[in-house]
């Protein structure tokens, strides 16, 4: 069997000095070679691994026939943003893990598994570069419907696109000054080129979607006021915007950032271009990033780039309390981080921070940990070893310990029912919340998930809104 085709990447040494997209898409030839490896299983397992059920077998078949147009439209039946998902989907935990070529029992996809995400990206970019818009099926009966979409992240964009294609008048409200939500403030440009994001948002604008930035629903306008203004439905794609801290001693010292703050300063506010852009971010000589997810990898790679840009010796270390195999991050991100020079300290449980005279963090005290029995997440539980304290020098620390549901709207709208995690409770069939006509999707429902899961929920909500109209 042929070897998997790796996508080309920028050289690890030089790319750490800029924010350019690291992975290049497949060339036509590479896409054809990779697609030809697909076994076209009679009963494809990969599709069951996709949260939105893309007909992976079919789109790959179209690629093998050089019918890229059909490949694109096949994906678009289920996924509005293939160019985005092809770049950010954790495919090795989803479709690629389900691929028949992945070894049984493996916690993530084997290398041999078809590179479905790269093929999706290829098809998505083909569609984008050839202006292959899905023809709008705008129906007159929907033209008097008005829907307010709250939040312009993956869920909001997807819901807006679905509805606009039916001819529904959609207004998207975003509290930040730029649209895109986590795709802009969270995911760095070296993982998702801003051209792609802007293209998708501009496509929605061409469909007639209206975007209002600097508008915080709950404060600028309440849910009730939106209904009073004539909206027939509201979709809440509020996201998981609240950073979790660890509750450690010294956690509020200077230069200890949540990953959200660190990434927002750099990605949204362009602090890496300070002083041309006015928002500052500090740069550490010894940077520690606490966490093992994609956000931790993003933060570490951003920190490393800041060190390189400012001529510091590269020294950024990820601290994780389990081992590499349990890390929830995409394998590719871990590999990229390592190639670029990020260090890893596994089986280390942060205990407390120490400070210097000015109130800046000076070190992190950790305990060594060992792995015990699997916990509710299925991963082996880290058990700190008493008396195993050790210190790590640290003048800047980023805490990437997860996110909780955004409370900005929920706290001012008591009628919205939430669960014990403060996530919104919805009807799983329709995504309707406890308020009639108010739907929700993405991380505000069910906690931190992926872009594609958010889109799946948004699509479901859009269908329910159409059905109930």
Partner 1 sequence: MRIISKEVIALCAGTRIVKISLVAPELSRKVQAGQFAVIMVDEKGERVPLTIVESDSAAGNVTLIFQEAGLTTKFLGSLNTGDNLYAVLGPLGHPTQIKNYGKAILVGGGVGIAEILPVARALKKAGNHITSILGAKNKCLLILEDELKDASDLIYVATDDGSYGRKGLTTDILSELLNKDKYDLVYSVGPIPMMRKAAEAAGEYNTDSLVSLNALMVDATGMCGCCRVSVFGKVRFSCVDGPDFDGRGVDWEELGKRNKMYNEQEKHICKLSPLFK
Q: Using CB under 8 A, pick the residue from 10, 216, 365, 425 that binds partner 1.
A: 216
**Which residue from 153, 159, 155, 151 is spatially nearest to 207, judged by alpha carbons?**
159
Quote the CA–CA distance of 182 and 180 in Å, as a whole number: 6
Compute the least distance from the CB of residue 177 to partner 1, in Å: 4
Q: Using CB under 8 A, pick the residue from 18, 33, 112, 270 that binds partner 1.
A: 270
Task: Tell me which residues in 400-429 interact with partner 1 (CB under 8 A).
Answer: 406-408, 411
Is 267 one of the binding residues for partner 1 (CB under 8 A)? Answer: no
Q: Using CB under 8 A, pick the residue from 6, 213, 374, 389 that binds partner 1.
A: 213
Q: Based on CB atoms, which residue is closest to partner 1, 241 or 382? A: 241
Is 278 one of the binding residues for partner 1 (CB under 8 A)? Answer: yes
Compute the least distance from the CB of residue 444 to partner 1, in Å: 13
Torsion angle of the four alpha carbons 84, 89, 92, 95, in this order, in degrees rounded to the nearest 10:
-80
Quote the CA–CA distance of 423 and 448 in Å, as a whole number: 10
Is 258 one of the binding residues for partner 1 (CB under 8 A)? Answer: yes
Q: Using CB under 8 A, pick the residue from 9, 274, 309, 383 that binds partner 1.
A: 274
Compute the least distance from the CB of residue 272 to partner 1, in Å: 13
Q: Based on CB atoms, which residue is closest to partner 1, 219 or 436? A: 219
Residue 275 preceded by cis peptide, ω within 30:
yes
Q: Using CB under 8 A, pick the residue from 230, 280, 374, 428 that binds partner 1.
A: 280
Quote the CA–CA distance of 176 and 202 in Å, as a whole number: 17
* CB half-sphere exposure, 337, CA atoms < 13 A: 27
Is 390 one of the binding residues for partner 1 (CB under 8 A)? Answer: no
- Asked if residue 59 lies in contact with residue 95, where contact means CB atoms within 8 angstroms, the answer is no
Query: CB under 8 Å to 77, separation ≥6 — which residues?
Result: 54, 55
Quote the CA–CA distance of 469 and 463 in Å, as a whole number: 10
Task: Tell me which residues in 351-380 interact with partner 1 (CB under 8 A).
Answer: 358-360
Is 335 one of the binding residues for partner 1 (CB under 8 A)? Answer: no
Distances (CA, A) of 57 to 39, 50, 115, 161: 9, 12, 12, 25
DSSP-derived pairing of the beta strands 256-258 and 396-399: parallel
Compute the least distance from the CB of residue 298 to partner 1, in Å: 15
Task: Tell me which residues in 235-254 interact with partner 1 (CB under 8 A).
Answer: 241-243, 245, 251-254
DSSP-derived pairing of the beta strands 146-150 and 233-236: parallel
* 183: Cα separation from own chain's centroid: 6
Task: Tell me which residues in 161-200 interact with partner 1 (CB under 8 A).
Answer: 175-177, 185
Site string for partner 1, 97-136 (x = CB under 8 A): ----------------------------------------
* Residue 177 burial (10 A CB sphere; 0-12, 13-18, 19+): exposed
Q: Using CB under 8 A, pick the residue from 110, 279, 343, 430 that binds partner 1.
A: 279
User: Contact positions toward partner 1, by CB under 8 A?
Assistant: 175-177, 185, 213-216, 219-221, 241-243, 245, 251-255, 257-258, 260-261, 264-265, 269-270, 274-280, 282, 358-360, 406-408, 411
């Amino acid at each position: 069997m042929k070897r998997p085709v790796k996508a080309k990447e920028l050289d690890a040494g030089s790319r750490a000095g800029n924010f350019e997209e690291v992975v290049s898409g497949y060339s036509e030839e590479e896409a054809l070679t990779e697609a030809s490896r697909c076994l076209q299983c009679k009963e494809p397992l990969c599709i069951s691994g996709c949260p939105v059920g893309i007909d992976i077998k079919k789109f790959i078949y179209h690629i093998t026939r050089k019918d890229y147009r059909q490949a694109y439209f096949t994906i678009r039946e289920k996924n509005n943003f293939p160019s985005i998902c092809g770049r950010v989907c954790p495919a090795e935990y989803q479709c690629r893990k389900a691929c028949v070529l992945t070894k049984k029992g493996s916690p993530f996809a084997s290398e041999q598994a078809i590179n479905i995400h790269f093929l999706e990206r290829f098809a998505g970019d083909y569609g984008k570069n050839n202006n292959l818009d899905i023809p709008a099926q705008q129906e007159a009966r929907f033209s008097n419907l008005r829907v307010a979409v709250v939040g312009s992240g993956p869920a909001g964009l997807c819901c807006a696109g679905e509805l606009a294609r039916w001819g529904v008048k959609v207004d998207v409200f975003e509290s930040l000054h730029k649209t895109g939500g986590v795709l802009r403030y969270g995911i760095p440009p070296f993982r998702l080129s801003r051209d792609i994001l802007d293209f998708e948002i501009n496509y929605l604008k061409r469909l007639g979607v209206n975007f209002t930035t600097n508008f915080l629903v709950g404060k600028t306008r309440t849910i009730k006021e939106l209904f009073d203004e004539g909206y027939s439905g509201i979709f809440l794609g509020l996201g998981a915007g609240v950073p979790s801290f660890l509750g450690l001693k010294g956690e509020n010292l200077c230069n200890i950032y949540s990953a959200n703050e660190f990434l927002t300063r750099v990605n949204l506010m362009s602090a890496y271009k300070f002083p041309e852009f006015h928002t500052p971010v500090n740069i550490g000589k010894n940077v520690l990033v606490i966490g093992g997810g994609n956000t931790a990898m993003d933060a570490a790679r951003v920190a490393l780039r800041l060190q390189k840009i400012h001529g510091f010796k590269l020294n950024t270390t990820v601290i994780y309390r389990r081992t590499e195999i349990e890390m929830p991050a995409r394998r590719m991100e871990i590999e990229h981080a390592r190639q670029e020079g990020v260090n890893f300290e596994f089986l280390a449980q942060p205990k407390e921070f120490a400070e210097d005279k000015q109130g800046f963090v000076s070190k992190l005290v950790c305990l060594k940990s060992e792995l015990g029995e699997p916990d509710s997440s299925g991963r082996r539980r880290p058990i700190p070893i008493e008396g195993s304290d050790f210190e790590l020098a640290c003048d800047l620390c980023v805490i990437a310990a997860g996110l909780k549901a955004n409370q900005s709207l929920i706290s001012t709208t008591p009628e919205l029912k939430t669960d014990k995690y403060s996530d919104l409770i919805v009807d799983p069939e329709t995504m309707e919340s406890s308020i009639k006509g108010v739907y929700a999707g993405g991380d505000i429902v069910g906690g931190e998930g992926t872009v594609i899961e958010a889109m799946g929920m948004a699509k479901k909500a859009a269908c329910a809104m159409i059905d109930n109209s």
